[in-house]
């Protein structure tokens, strides 16, 4: 698929997805978009991820296939790199925590260039790491901040997050730093696919679709907070009715809210079937979550079955007479 | 069906399930009570139409603050033709006398902390 089509198709798909709730609410289907769709998306999200994880768990990983990024544990006088080549489960836990929270493997990202004729050179390339970290952490903090709509009274950590996030006290309502950072990070993550020729070549619609979906989600949320405000008391009434399993839809929430909710629902439902499953998959990466202890511990293949062997002794026992007849040497007479 | 490393994976799934269903079990069995700000009885209209006030009163107050403090401009000509004093104490609080029964109802509900009361004295509540 050409690069233009890879961008255009998901863009059109997301624009259509934005129009669906706008038209649907006009037609009086607000119950469908406020209750049925979010519940369905939540169930698909949970069920889908569960199926994925169980499917992964059913595949045996008999041998240690750790990617080693440092010195393996060896003699006492050789310095062991504990977190890049873990030996115990505790060290694996630290390695996984660094991977999940700090994207350590992305930090090692390199770029390769041919310079001054046929000279191959490698350089550090940290921008992707920075963009990814900025995006994921902003998204996580924004998700936590949204807990103010789902709990009554609002838990204390939300208050703390809002204070830190609104630290600069810019504008009214106060600008949240994460809102600005997530837009910048998404813009970077999109532009790198468009600008860098190699990335443009390998980028598929399934790379652009989640990006556009996230843009829709984030921009509709920012729009609701800063520009085209909706009645958030009613939004919380709806959210609380959903989580107490007594769904009621208050009248007169702005259409922008339905766009936001629909984007979120699509994102949730899309999660288990796309590259976004890396959220669960990162925990089950055998190249990261295994201790590199093959030299100390025997790992037996679980699908080994008792092999029927026919030893030479038994063979000679069976054919001794015939072997003697044709003059073949035998070990026992 | 054989699951490998179930002793690690199944607790992992359970922990994730508990985290993601946090809003559901936190509110389990509770009834959601919507806020009921106490509205003044004798006056029916605010300075702007109610839907605007519900969503954007902070924008109006911010504008008022800037006009009064920076421009010394104190009269607000409302869309309904009346003039109002652009003042928290002598304007808003005239009708919405109780912070606890009016402002705090929704502001606590949604955990929004207005900075009005950084400078203004909150009205004394009769208890």
B45 vs A290, residue with greater confidence: A290
Distance CA A33, CA A26 (A): 11
Q: What is the pLDDT of residues A290-325, one digit of tens each?
A: 999 999 998 888 777 888 899 999 999 999 999 999
A284 falls within a domain: yes
Chain A residues with beta carbon closer than 8 angstroms to that of B31? 244
A176 falls within a domain: yes
- Sequence-ordered list of residues with C-beta below 8 angstroms from that of B13, at least 6 positions apart, any chain: A50, A53
Segment of A104-113, A263-272, B50-59 carrying the highest mean pLDDT: A263-272
A53 and B33 within 8 Å at the Cβ level: the answer is no
- Please say if the pLDDT value at position A89 is more than 60: yes
Mean pLDDT of A255-275: 96
Q: What is the pLDDT of residues B7-24, one digit of tens each?
A: 999 999 999 999 988 888
Q: Find residue B75's DSSP bridge partners.
A: B85
Mind giving me the DSSP string for A102-144? H-HHHHT-EEEEEETTTEEEEEE--HHHHHHHHHHHHHHHHHH
- Please say if the pLDDT value at position A160 is more than 80: yes
* The predicted structure's pLDDT at residue B4: 86
Residue among A61, A149, A244 whose CB faces B4 most closely: A61
A141 vs B23, residue with greater confidence: A141
Go through A43-56 and write b for each residue having 16 or more CB atoms within 10 A of its CB, e for each that does not. ebbbebbeebbeeb
What is the overall mean pLDDT for chain A? 92
Residue among B22, B23, B58 whose CB faces A173 most closely: B58
Give the number of domains in chain A.
1
Distance CA A210, CA A219 (A): 14
What is the overall mean pLDDT for chain B? 87
A267 contacts A213 by C-beta, under 8 angstroms: yes
Is A233 in CB contact (< 8 Å) with chain B? yes
CATH of the domain at A43: 1.20.950.20
* The predicted structure's pLDDT at residue B116: 86
* The predicted structure's pLDDT at residue B115: 85
- Please say if the pLDDT value at position A1 is more than 80: no
- Domain extent at residue A67: 3-305
B43 falls within a domain: no
* The predicted structure's pLDDT at residue A323: 93
* The predicted structure's pLDDT at residue B126: 62
- Please say if the pLDDT value at position B127 is more than 70: no
Name the DSSP class of A171. T
Name the DSSP class of A254. -
Residues 32-51 of A with CB under 8 A from B: 46, 49-50
A56 falls within a domain: yes
A325 falls within a domain: no
> Which of A244, A255, A290 is most worth mutating to test chain B (most B CB atoms within 10 A of its CB)?
A244
A4 contacts A232 by C-beta, under 8 angstroms: no
- Please say if the pLDDT value at position A256 is more than 80: yes
- Please say if the pLDDT value at position A117 is more than 60: yes
* The predicted structure's pLDDT at residue A145: 94
Rounded to two decimals, the ipTM of the complex is: 0.89
Q: What are the C-alpha distances in Å from A322 to residues A261, A314, A319, A332?
A: 83, 14, 5, 14
- Please say if the pLDDT value at position B82 is more than 90: no
Chain B residues with beta carbon closer than 8 angstroms to that of A240? 27, 32
Segment of A209-213, A243-247, A249-253 carrying the highest mean pLDDT: A209-213
B19 falls within a domain: no
- Domain extent at residue B91: 50-119
B89 falls within a domain: yes
pLDDT level of residue B114 (50, 70, 90 thresholds): confident
Mean pLDDT of A243-268: 93
The proportion of chain A whose per-residue pLDDT surpasses 70, expressed as a percent, equals 100
A133 falls within a domain: yes
B103 falls within a domain: yes
Shortest Cα distance, chain A CAs vs residue B43, angstroms:
22
Burial of residue A14, with CB atoms counted within 10 A of its CB: 0-12 exposed, 13-18 middle, 19 or more buried: buried
A19 falls within a domain: yes
B4 and A158 within 8 Å at the Cβ level: the answer is no
Is A243 in CB contact (< 8 Å) with chain B? yes
A113 falls within a domain: yes
* The predicted structure's pLDDT at residue A24: 94
By C-alpha distance, the chain A residue nearest B12 is A283
Q: What are the C-alpha distances in Å from B85 to residues A129, B94, B119?
A: 54, 11, 19
Chain length of chain B: 127
A58 and B3 within 8 Å at the Cβ level: the answer is yes
- Please say if the pLDDT value at position A87 is more than 80: yes
Chain B residues with beta carbon closer than 8 angstroms to that of A284? 9
> Which of B111, B112, B113, B116 is most worth mutating to test chain A (most A CB atoms within 10 A of its CB)?
B111
A321 falls within a domain: no
Mean pLDDT of A134-145: 96
Mean pLDDT of A26-43: 94
A231 and B51 within 8 Å at the Cβ level: the answer is yes
Q: What is the pLDDT of residues A168-184, one digit of tens each?
A: 988 888 899 999 999 99
Give the number of domains in chain B.
1
Tokens of residue A311, six digits: 């030893």
A162 and B9 within 8 Å at the Cβ level: the answer is no
């Amino acid at each position: 698929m050409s690069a233009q089509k890879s961008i255009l198709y998901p863009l059109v798909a997301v624009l259509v997805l934005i129009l669906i709730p706008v038209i649907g609410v006009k037609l009086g289907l607000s119950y469908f978009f406020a209750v049925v769709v979010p519940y369905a998306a939540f169930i698909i999200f949970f069920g889908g991820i569960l199926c994925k994880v169980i499917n992964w768990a059913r595949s045996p990983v008999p041998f240690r296939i750790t990617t080693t990024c440092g010195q393996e544990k060896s003699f006492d006088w050789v310095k062991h790199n504990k977190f890049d080549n873990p030996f115990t489960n505790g060290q694996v836990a630290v390695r996984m925590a660094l991977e999940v929270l700090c994207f350590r493997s992305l930090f090692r990202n390199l770029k390769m260039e041919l310079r001054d004729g046929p000279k191959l050179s490698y350089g550090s390339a940290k921008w992707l790491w920075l963009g990814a970290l900025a995006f994921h952490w902003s998204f996580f903090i924004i998700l936590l901040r949204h807990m103010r709509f789902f709990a009554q009274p609002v838990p204390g950590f939300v208050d703390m997050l809002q204070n830190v996030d609104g630290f600069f006290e810019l504008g009214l309502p106060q600008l949240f730093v994460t809102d600005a950072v997530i837009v910048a990070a998404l813009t970077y993550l999109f532009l790198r696919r468009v600008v860098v020729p190699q990335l443009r070549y390998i980028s598929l619609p399934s790379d652009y679709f989640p990006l556009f979906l996230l843009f829709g989600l984030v921009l509709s949320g920012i729009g609701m907070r800063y520009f085209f405000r909706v009645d958030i008391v009613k939004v919380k009434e709806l959210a609380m009715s959903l989580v107490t399993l007594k769904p009621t839809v208050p009248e007169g929430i702005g259409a922008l809210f339905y766009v936001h909710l629909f984007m979120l629902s699509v994102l949730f439902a899309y999660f288990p079937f796309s590259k976004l499953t890396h959220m669960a998959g990162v925990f089950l990466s055998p190249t990261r979550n295994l201790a590199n202890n093959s030299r100390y511990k025997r790992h037996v293949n679980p699908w080994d079955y008792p092999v029927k062997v026919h030893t030479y002794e038994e063979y000679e026992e069976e054919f001794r007479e015939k072997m003697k007849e044709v003059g073949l040497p035998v070990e026992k007479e | 069906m054989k699951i490998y490393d179930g002793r690690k994976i199944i607790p992992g799934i359970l922990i994730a399930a508990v985290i993601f269903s946090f809003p559901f079990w936190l509110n389990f069995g509770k009834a959601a009570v919507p806020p009921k700000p106490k509205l003044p009885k004798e006056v029916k209209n605010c300075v702007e139409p109610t839907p605007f006030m519900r969503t954007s009163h902070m924008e109006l107050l911010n504008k008022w603050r800037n006009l009064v403090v920076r421009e010394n401009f104190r009269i607000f000509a409302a869309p309904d033709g009346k003039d109002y004093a652009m003042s928290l104490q002598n304007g808003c609080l005239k009708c919405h006398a109780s912070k606890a029964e009016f402002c705090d109802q929704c502001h606590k509900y949604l955990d929004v902390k207005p900075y009005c009361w950084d400078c203004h004295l909150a009205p004394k509540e009769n208890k």
